[in-house]
Amino acid sequence: MVRDGLKPGGREASAGNRALLIDAQEVHAQSLLSILGFIEWGELEWVSTMEEAAARMQEESFSLLFTGACDGLDRDELYRQLRQEDESVPLLFLIDGVDEADESLPGTLADGVLGTLAMPIKQTQLITQLEQAAAYNKRRKNRAARRDVSGLFPEMIGNSAAMNRVRQLMAQVADSGANVLILGESGTGKEVVAQSLHRHSRRKGNAFVPINCGAIPADLLESELFGHEKGAFTGAISSRKGRFELAEGGTIFLDEIGDMSLPMQVKLLRVLQERIFERVGGVKSIQSNVRVMAATHRNLENNIEEGKFREDLYYRLNVFPIELPPLRERQGDIGVLVDSISVRLEAEGRPISKVMPSAIYALSQYHWPGNVRELYNLVERLGILFPEEEVEALDLPERYFPDDLDLPELEDDYAPEPEADLPLIPAEEANSFEQEPILPSDGLDLKSYLSSLEEDLIRQALIECDGVVAQAAKLLNVRRTTLVEKMKKYDLSRKDV
């Protein structure tokens, strides 16, 4: 095996690129190595047999495979063996002449087969195909984030479709460094989201500094954020760092940003735009390198119309919004939330009770104006009232179990049904619905429900097929023209996915 490595050059975006060439001809390796080195793309390894290729692919992850003549195998067999090692890495076939280009390819772009690369290599063609590989890898990463979020962000408790969507968004933005605006009612866990994003970001080794902008008087907030110099105001007996300095290199979390005064918004906007600030009473400009996350329970767009919030600041903060669902919209999560809260309280040495299925059912019918915070307080209260005892629905405070609530016959392992909203369905399960839909007791609008279901499935099929309508139609077992009409009906386009 011949192995060579090219360190990425000045193009920051290309850092981490690593390709594997499987080819019996050294001349192909030298040609490809020369061009990749010239454009400073990344690292290239060359192996001459499939056995060596399989060994390397088990040891390393590659962002691109090049394959030419190897072990006397045809394209279909090469493709089959390579896909046994990595089912989705993008692949380019090297060819020696025009005649070979006419041979059929064993897969499509959706399968990661980028096409053929003729020898001698033309630099412009190679660069185009490298860009295609980068775009394919980005889509592959996004699909993985959308599909496999159950093990991420364990602080985000719940298995409902609404919470899965939140995890998907978090997975996409956590490591990006972008400003995040977290929206949701009080008690939905906005700070938990911010802390979790920080722990999964590149800044996790530095500080996470929260501040509640609504809890600090307007005349003191500037000093809290930016610090002050000695003698800046009465009582300033020494210099003091603000939250932005304390968060240097890390993340600052501006909770209840919607309560910030307009004059303070102007000063915050300057920090976001110019990355500098001065302490109160100081003249020295201080550079700022922090990631900003903000949260509010208010409708900032309404506040902008009412003149209470600056539009330019809103757009600076709202780079990537994440909206948390209220607990009443994910009542199927109440059982697992109760269990999680109980485990936490027990770890803190506090008394807990066992909340029984009848009580879980009653709690799932409640509207939860205080959201998860209210549920936490209730579970803590039940532990004090009924330590180490079972809590049935009749034991709940009256507001959680009104007299007019009828309890159905429940199994010992009862959990509320998840919402009608559907999670993403992997392609291999798209035609296998094992769970029978449940009709709500008050009925439903069947036409509206079926339309919503159809739209969700079409969107999922388009995501699964990277926006290729023909393949999505095949996945849904409908004609392409039929799918196009339905996409028009629901205002869907390939760009949406």
Q: Residue 344: which residues within 8 A CB-CB, separation 6 or more? A: none
Q: Residue 418: which residues within 8 A CB-CB, separation 6 or more? A: 159, 160, 161, 332
Other residues' Cβ atoms within 10 Å of the Cβ of residue 413? 7
Q: Do 154 and 431 form a contact (C-beta atoms < 8 A)?
A: no
Please compute, for residue 118, the number of CA atoms within 13 A of its CA located in the half-sphere on the CB side: 10
Q: What are phi and psi of 209, to 5 degrees?
A: -120, 110
Q: Between 381 and 437, whose confidence is greater?
A: 381
Other residues' Cβ atoms within 10 Å of the Cβ of residue 182? 26
- Residue 371's alpha-carbon distances to 67, 187, 201, in angstroms, are 55, 5, 27
Burial track 329-366 (b if 16+ CB lie within 10 A, e otherwise): ebbbbbbebbebbbeebeeeeeebbebbbbbbbbbbbb
Cβ-based burial of 481 (10 A; exposed 0-12, middle 13-18, buried ≥19): exposed
pLDDT band at 307 (very low <50, low <70, confident <90, very high): very high
Beta-strand relationship, 43-47 and 2-4: antiparallel
* pLDDT for res 1: 43
| DSSP tally for the chain: helices H, then strands E | 18, 15
Torsion of CA 51, 53, 54, 56, to 10 degrees: 120
Share of the chain above pLDDT 90, in %: 40
Distance CA 453, CA 469 (A): 18
Q: Do 85 and 109 form a contact (C-beta atoms < 8 A)?
A: no
Cis ω before 120 (30° cut-off from 0)? yes
Distance CA 487, CA 293 (A): 36
pLDDT digits (tens, 9 = 90+) for 204-263: 999 999 999 999 998 899 999 999 888 878 887 888 999 999 999 999 999 999 999 999
Is the entire prediction scored with pTM above 0.95? Answer: no
* pLDDT for res 437: 60
The arithmetic mean of pLDDT across residues 104-114, rounded, is 77
Distance CA 96, CA 81 (A): 22
Query: Which helix or strand (DSSP H or E) is residue 172 part of?
Result: helix 161-173
Q: Do 91 and 114 form a contact (C-beta atoms < 8 A)?
A: yes
Distance CA 279, CA 489 (A): 56
pLDDT digits (tens, 9 = 90+) for 435-488: 456 666 677 777 777 888 888 888 888 888 777 777 788 888 887 767 877 887
Q: Do 258 and 297 form a contact (C-beta atoms < 8 A)?
A: yes
- Residue 397's alpha-carbon distances to 328, 379, 403, 447, in angstroms, are 18, 11, 11, 39
pLDDT digits (tens, 9 = 90+) for 189-210: 999 999 999 999 989 999 999 9
pLDDT band at 314 (very low <50, low <70, confident <90, very high): very high
The arithmetic mean of pLDDT across residues 125-134, rounded, is 88
> Which amino acid, 449?
Y
Burial track 125-147 (b if 16+ CB lie within 10 A, e otherwise): ebeebbebbbebbebbebbebbb
Angle between helix 334-347 and helix 371-385 axes, rounded to 10 deg: 60
* pLDDT for res 144: 61
Least confident of 66-80, 98-112, 417-431: 417-431
Helix/strand/coil percentages in the chain, nearest 5 = 45, 15, 40
Q: Round the average pLDDT of the chain to a whole number and report it.
A: 83
> What does 299-338 look like in DSSP terms, one character per residue?
-HHHHHHTTSS-HHHHHHHTTEEEEPPPGGG-GGGHHHHH
